[in-house]
Amino acid sequence: MPAAIVARSLTKRYRDQLAVDAIDLEVREGECFGFLGPNGAGKSTTMKMVYGFSPVTSGVLEVLGLDVRTRAREVKAQTGVCPQEDNLDPDFTVRRNLEVYARYFGVAAAEARPRADELLAFVALQEKADAPVMSLSGGMKRRLVLARALLNRPKLLILDEPTTGLDPQARHVLWDKVRDLRRRGTTILLTTHYMDEAAQLCDRLVIMDKAKILVCGSPAELIAEHARPSVVEVWQPPDALVTWVRARNLPCELVSERLFIYPESGDTLQREILGRFQVDQLIARRGTLEDVFLRLTGRDLRD
Ligand SMILES: Nc1ncnc2c1ncn2[C@@H]1O[C@H](COP(=O)(O)OP(=O)(O)OP(=O)(O)O)[C@@H](O)[C@H]1O
Ligand SMILES: [Mg+2]
């Protein structure tokens, strides 16, 4: 599979701030590739370099076979972007936002209107075509930004937190669209703070922290490698239970009022605990991408 993006020792420095620190990356053509990481990890900065918005400080960055440092215009022509912050034009209607943007990409006026309408239908906003952007809800704006990102029929689509703040219905609609685009061969870069979203949509992903990539792999690989297979969580565990778990040398963590235990078999441990202790809330579950994330990046809040 040819590479859609190749980064070698890619670095971005903002004055005294190292935002991306010598990362290596290879995104395959046609895959949905995720970026996870705490606030300030460097995800958006990496995306901005990929779509030619933020100059590379040092290192190699090839996008769609082109060196971004010298061929940014060609890269932009084949890339669609949903930036983290909505930057729609509030003075225009929904359709007009798309038409104006289409012109930036050199889409002929006669073609801009039908293409805008086709994309409004794609994101289920056709009924809002003549509404001012200001009157849209947050979720509708996100969908409009997605439609806008597709105006140039991009080979590479960059989605920086496309579903932040959306209700579950709108998230599912957006996920369906992303899957649809991926099926049609679009390469997708996605950042998200929703671990379930990454696990569902991404073929592979990286977890970044403090400007570096910590790990790269498919969700299943990362879970197998970095999470424990089963987890038993107990809320407000009685002291006797904590003592019992520790005496048995079971790997565990006590985080605020929750005890996380990592046994060989969650079902067996669950039965044992329920037979011996009075606990109000207990769940036994499989390891998840969220466990991987918290294990690798810690539980502390970022600045
Ligand atoms: N234009 C800028 N000027 C100076 N520093 C910046 C600029 N943009 C980002 N930074 C800094 O670079 C670092 C990485 O920021 P970035 O926006 O890439 O993080 P992120 O992983 O996207 O975080 P979030 O999850 O909050 O969106 C942060 O320390 C941020 O403060
Ligand atoms: Mg960001």
Nearest CA to ligand 1 atom 19: 40
- Non-local CB neighbours of 272 within 8 Å, separated by 6+ positions: none
34 CA distance to ligand 1 middle (Å) = 17
CB of 41 shorter than 6 A to ligand 1: yes
Q: Which pLDDT band, with edges at 50, 70 and 90, does 2 fall under? A: confident
Sheet holding 187-191, edge to edge: 79-82, 156-160, 187-191, 32-36, 204-209, 212-217
281-292 per-position pLDDT tens digit = 999 999 999 999
CB of 44 shorter than 6 A to ligand 1: yes
Mutate to test the pocket of ligand 1, among 17, 23, 297 (most ligand atoms within 8 A of CB): 17
pLDDT > 90 in the chain, percent: 88
CB of 20 shorter than 6 A to ligand 1: no
74-114 per-position pLDDT tens digit = 999 999 999 999 889 999 999 999 999 999 898 998 999 99
6 CA distance to ligand 1 middle (Å) = 21
CB of 47 shorter than 6 A to ligand 1: no
Q: Which pLDDT band, with edges at 50, 70 and 90, does 6 fall under? A: very high
217-254 per-position pLDDT tens digit = 999 999 999 999 999 999 999 999 999 999 999 999 99
Spell out the domains of the chain, with CATH numbers in brackets: 3-224 (3.40.50.300), 228-286 (3.30.70)
Q: In this structure, is the dihedral angle defined by the CA atoms of residues 275, 281, 283 and 288, taken in order, positive or negative?
A: negative
